[in-house]
Structure 1
Amino acid sequence: MLDEPNNWGRWGAADERGALNLLTPETVLAAASCVREGRVLGLSLPIRGATSSPAPTTVPHLRGRPLPQHFMSVDGGDYAAGTRAIGAGLKMADDALVVTPHGTTTHMDALCHMWSGDELYNGHPADRVRSYGAGRCGIDKAGPVVARGVLFDVPRLRGVEHLAATDRITPEDLEACGVELRPGDVAVVRTGWPLTWADGPDAYWSGQPGLSAGAGRWLAARDVCAVASDNAAIGGLNERQLADEELADDLHMILLWRHGVPLLEMLWLEELAAASRTDFLFVAAPLRIEGGTASPVTPVAVL
């Protein structure tokens, strides 16, 4: 499957950052010039509650995935025996957070997340991905992402609130958005799909719109440093929440595995879309989870 264009070896045999290598100091400085208003918008979904509360059911997630668990000690009913006195009448509440990022909250996929055969991105051995973490291409290798973000608002292009579950975004759709894409940009693709959660989980779980394989190749050919979207898998999903593409056309294979392009999934893009800005400073810093396949993130758009 590496007969088609790819980034293996482009930044050396030891490379584990992939297209994030495009974020040179010059690229970051150019991205900063997108800040014209000083307004900051958060682009993440909230993490709410624990399984003992109804809160997680109010946040979009894929069916059957372990939901984030947020426990607090303040009421004595969760993971610790009440608040802790720390002298002079002061008390302190503690938190414990358990998150399986994929399919449950806003997150960034590492280059070790998916692969084919015996090799990760850039030919690193896949047998280094073990239960204790990935020895190569983990999320800790990514580092902070500070780049020019470019919004492809496909629902606005089509004049709809959100795309249909069966919609697949084509290169022609991306071109028709009329935005300028530069090497090192983060392509931010809006489908509007999180809005369907208001109609109930079954509506959200009926499938998902996303990029077609052709659109993924179109973005990779333009040297984006990352691709972000408000859907759960960058590509589309069927009603069983699985991708329909053959392995060669799977969006994770095209972007993560072949081109080393990290993916940011399950963003909230409605305020950004309402701002009518197609370019902005994009900032996201994954946690330095050694050998992690992903990290929760709070992407930020600075307008």
Structure 2
Amino acid sequence: MIEPHNWGRWGADDERGTLNLLTPEVVLAAMGSVRQGRVVSLALPIRGSTSSPARLGVPHLPGRPLPQHFMSVDGADYAAGVRPIGPGVCVCDDALVVSPHGTTTHLDALCHMWTGDKLYNGHDAARVRSYGATRCGIDKAGGIVTRGVFLDVAAALGVPHLDGGFRIGADLLDGADIRPGDAVVIRTGWPLVHASDPGRYQHPQPGLSYEAGLWLAERDVALVAMDNAAIAALDDHGRCTEPLEEDLHLLFLWRHGIHLLEMLWLEELATLGATEFLFMLAPLTVEGGTASPVNPLAVL
């Protein structure tokens, strides 16, 4: 049985975990990270699979349903969605169906993974039902504004991207200026592989080691964000191979109440030389959702 941590730290009813560290004082201090006034998106684009090149054009894990984007209110063609509202004036509607896990930039809720019969903080896992999670859903996260710390591991090792299956050790993070409440953003460069070889992207991926996960959790980070698909390294079948007691989703989400932000696009940020910035994120208030598609922002 994995021993839980942070349970009860913010009270028996807590559903936000280390996001509770984002006090007004922490948010105000994070504002001091802004130097240029430049805003950089850290999100991959959402391209619906109804567009013919989308299947090959967006990094995603195999077997996951790709976003469906319809340029119409009824799922038909574009023209059917255009409604005249006056002489020479039209309005067009569209619809989007998206399952965030494994298909787009997203924030995992604390109800996304658990073991035994308890969610984070001891909430009953039976509260996760077909209509959603009534405890620890993504709607409990709220807006997130804090200091962001950028750790470009691939650049530090002198490579465009880490190799598939590579595990980032705590030694590669040691020395970083990490403070309680920080959003730690880690670059592996793995999305670059998809551009040159989509098939290779869906095979072993690099990720954090368990020791690196412990290192971050011990520093009271608010969330961990990466450009790979699962924070941890994945094998040929898209699975983590660590034993249950070293599973990073359980370590972060279940034991420590640390939200996870996955499938980022960090290539623009990597060219700008910033190591800290103001991090901003507003997950959708999907009641009982296990995740939300997001567009995280770095304000430099």
TM-score in terms of structure 1 length: 0.96
* Match of residue 258 from structure 2: 261
Cα deviations by residue, 1:185-222 (Å, 9 ceiling, x for unpaired): 00111100000002222110121000011111110000
Quick one: which of 222, 231, 255 aligns to 1:225?
A: 222
Alignment of 1:1-303 (within 5 A): 1-3=1-3, 6-51=5-50, 53-73=52-72, 77-78=76-77, 81-175=80-174, 178-303=175-300
**Equivalent position amino acid for 2:166 in 1:** D
Tell me, which stretches of 5 or more residues in structure 2 are unaligned? none
Counterparts of 2:196 and 2:51 in 1: how far apart (Å)?
Answer: 23
Range with greater deviation from structure 2 (191-200 or 11-20): 191-200
Helix, strand or coil at the partner of 1:289: coil
| 1:142 to partner: Cα distance | 0.1
Whole-Å Cα distance in 1 between the matches of residues 78 and 260 of structure 2? Answer: 33
Q: Name stretches of at least 5 consecutive residues in structure 1 with no aligned partner.
A: none
Distance of 2:163 and 2:83 partners within structure 1: 50
Paired with 2:160 and 2:216, the residues of 1 have a C-alpha distance of 24
Aligned AA (1:131): S
Deviations along 1:197-248, one digit per CA (max 9) or x if unpaired, are 0222211012100001111111000000000000000011001000001111
* Secondary structure of 1:291's aligned partner: coil
Question: What are the superposed Cα offsets for residues 256-289 of structure 1, whole Å, 9 maximum, x if unpaired?
Answer: 0000000000000011111111100011110000
Tell me which amino acid in the other structure corresponds to 2:190.
W
Report the CA distance shift for 1:52/1:34 in structure 2 as closer, same or farther (over 3 A). closer
d(CA) in 1 for partners of 2:186 and 2:236?
21
Q: CA deviation at 1:301?
A: 0.3
Whole-angstrom CA distance in 2 between matches of 1:56 and 1:147: 34
TM-score of the superposed pair, with normalisation by structure 2: 0.97
Distance in 2, Cα, partners of 1:11 & 1:75: 46
Question: How far is 1:80 from its partner?
Answer: 8.2
Instruction: Point out 4+ residue stretches in structure 1 off by more than 4 angstroms.
Output: none
State the secondary structure of the residue aligned to 2:14: coil
Q: Partners of 2:200 and 2:158 in 1: how far apart?
A: 20
Judged with a 3 Å threshold, the aligned counterparts in structure 2 of structure 1 residues 76 and 204 are, in CA distance, closer, same or farther, namely: closer
CA distance in 2 between counterparts of 1:106 and 1:52 reads: 19
Q: Secondary structure at the match of 1:86?
A: strand
Distance 2:58 2:172 in 1: 29
Matched to 2:21, the amino acid is: L
Q: Identify the range of structure 1 (260-269 vs 197-206) with the bigger mean alpha-carbon deviation.
A: 197-206
Measured in 2, the distance between the counterparts of 1:198 and 1:139 equals 31
Find the aligned partners of 1:79 and 1:249 in 2 and give their Cα distance: 49
| RMSD (Å), alpha carbons | 1.6
Change (3 A) 1:132 1:267: same
After superposition, give the CA deviation of every residue in 1:140-193 in whole Å (9 maximum; x if it has no partner).
000011010001111111111100012101110111xx4310000001111000
Give me the identity figure in percent: 66
What is the total number of aligned residue pairs between the two structures? 300
1:51·1:67 contact (CA, 8 Å) conserved in 2?
A: no
CA distance in 2 between partners of 1:173 and 1:299 (Å):
24
